[in-house]
């Protein structure tokens, strides 16, 4: 794999961060499937404000290249996952039409150190309410080699988002919040139970994750829109995936059908 690249002008104090250069470096790394230096490791005083400013530029570059935002992923909403990656708190990033998988499969070789997150995905109705829910898998990757990043780097790095696979949708009404939050889930790899979790392992469940996202979007002057989808966070820790594996997410006793994907 190619060594990490650091763009020109990527140095200096927090007030001297070249946000455009860092954003372009990450977009280039995404397009070329290469690694890039972690800003928190290479830029003295790199701040959350820097990370958020760069993430906005990354979003603009993706849209300028033709990607259409269709919703959001929310990450680090699970205490076990925050501990796994030493994350300071939740974060969010766009989901695009080009990252929404058209079929229940993912090609591991096209990604950088891919991992899998079993999630509840929700869709918004005309009034901003949850109109439907489904089990889903978010596939994440890191453009920082060996996943050796800091929390702020993940905000810059597309929220680690690589792909979203959504299972069969089921309508959701106001009375469904309790079971959606409490439902137990199990993650299987090649038929064997790999991890167990529950909707409640996400902070406040899917509804709590959605509430956090709404508040977070306000700082960027945005609101969730009807028809958008939200992947609400992993209900288990985040394991690596490899070619030849078959992963299944089940929520026994809930109305949400199981989801199985193949790793090619």
Buried b (16+ CB within 10 A) or exposed e, 63-81: eeeebebbbbbbbbbbeeb
pLDDT band at residue 162 using 50, 70 and 90 as cut-offs = very high
Please check whether residue 19 is in contact with residue 53, taking contact to mean a CB–CB distance below 8 angstroms: yes
- Domain 69-263 fold: Fumarylacetoacetate hydrolase; domain 2 (3.90.850)
Domain ranges of the chain: 69-263
Model pLDDT, residue 14: 42
Question: What is the pTM assigned to this prediction?
Answer: 0.94
Model pLDDT, residue 174: 85
* Phi and psi based region of residue 236 (left: phi greater than 0; alpha: psi -120 to 50; beta: remaining): beta
Write out the DSSP string of the chain. -PPPB--TT--S-GGG--HHHHHHHHHHHHHHT--B--HHHHSTT--HHHHHHHHHHHHHHHHHTT--EEEEEEES-BHHHHHHHT-SS-EEEEEEGGGB-SSSEE-GGGSSS-EEEEEEEEEE-TTSSEEEEEEEEEEE--SSGGG---HHHHHHTGGGEEEEEE---EE--GGGHHHHHH-EEEEEETTEEEEEEEGGGBTTHHHHHHHHHHHHHHTTT----TT-EEEEEESS---B--TT-EEEEE-TTSSSPPEEEEE-
The pLDDT mean for the chain works out to 94
**Helical axes 48-64 vs 19-32, angle rounded to 10°:** 50
* In the chain, % of residues over pLDDT 90: 91
pLDDT digits (tens, 9 = 90+) for 77-136: 999 999 999 999 999 999 999 999 999 999 999 999 999 999 999 999 999 999 999 999
pLDDT digits (tens, 9 = 90+) for 12-69: 444 579 999 999 999 999 999 999 999 999 999 999 999 999 999 999 999 999 999 9
């Amino acid at each position: 794999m190619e060594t990490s690249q650091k763009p020109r002008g990527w140095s200096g104090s927090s007030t001297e961060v070249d946000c455009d250069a860092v954003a372009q470096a990450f977009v280039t790394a995404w397009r070329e499937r290469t690694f890039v230096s972690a800003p928190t490791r290479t830029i003295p005083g790199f701040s959350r404000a820097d990370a958020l400013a760069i993430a906005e530029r990354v979003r603009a570059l993706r849209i300028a290249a033709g990607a259409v935002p269709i919703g959001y992923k929310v990450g680090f909403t699970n205490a076990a996952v925050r501990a796994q990656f030493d994350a300071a708190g939740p974060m969010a990033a766009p989901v695009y039409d080009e990252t929404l998988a058209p079929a229940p499969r993912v090609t591991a070789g096209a990604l950088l150190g891919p991992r899998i997150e079993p999630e509840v995905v929700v869709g918004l109705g005309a009034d901003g309410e949850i109109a439907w829910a489904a089990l889903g898998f978010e596939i994440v990757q890191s453009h920082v080699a060996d996943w050796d990043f800091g929390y702020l780097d993940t905000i810059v790095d597309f929220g680690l988002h690589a792909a979203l696979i959504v299972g069969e949708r089921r309508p959701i009404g106001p009375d469904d919040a309790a079971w959606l939050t409490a439902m137990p889930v199990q993650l299987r790899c090649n038929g064997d139970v790999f991890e167990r979790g529950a909707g409640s392992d996400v902070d406040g469940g899917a509804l709590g994750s959605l509430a956090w996202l709404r508040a977070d979007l306000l700082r960027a002057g945005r609101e969730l829109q009807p028809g958008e989808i939200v992947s609400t966070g992993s209900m288990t820790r985040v394991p690596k995936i490899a070619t030849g594996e078959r992963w299944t997410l089940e929520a026994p006793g809930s109305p949400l059908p199981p989801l199985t994907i193949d790793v090619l």
